[in-house]
Amino acid sequence: MRVRWSPPGTLRLGAWDADPQPPEPPSALAHLTDAENGRGLALVRACADLWGRQPLSRNGNRGKYVWCELAAA
């Protein structure tokens, strides 16, 4: 996990893994009230000001990086 504070007051969080498959687009949080898994990106989308993903390819390794930004209140 990577956490970075960027002026003028944005917190950027990111995480990566070795799975090259992109994450499923998040469902609306209201549709996931009884779900026991698969809520992560829906929670990120509901709370973050901005989020995204990008593929990783370095030294033959593949995977993805998912990030979000939260503005200071």
pLDDT in tens, 18-27: 888 888 777 7
pLDDT in tens, 38-68: 777 888 888 899 999 998 887 777 899 999 9
Coil, strand, or helix at residue 3?
Answer: strand
Strand ranges for 1-73 from DSSP E: 2-6, 10-17, 50-58, 61-71
Confidence (pTM):
0.76
Query: How far is 31 from 45, CA to CA, in rounded Å?
Result: 14
pLDDT in tens, 2-15: 999 988 899 999 99
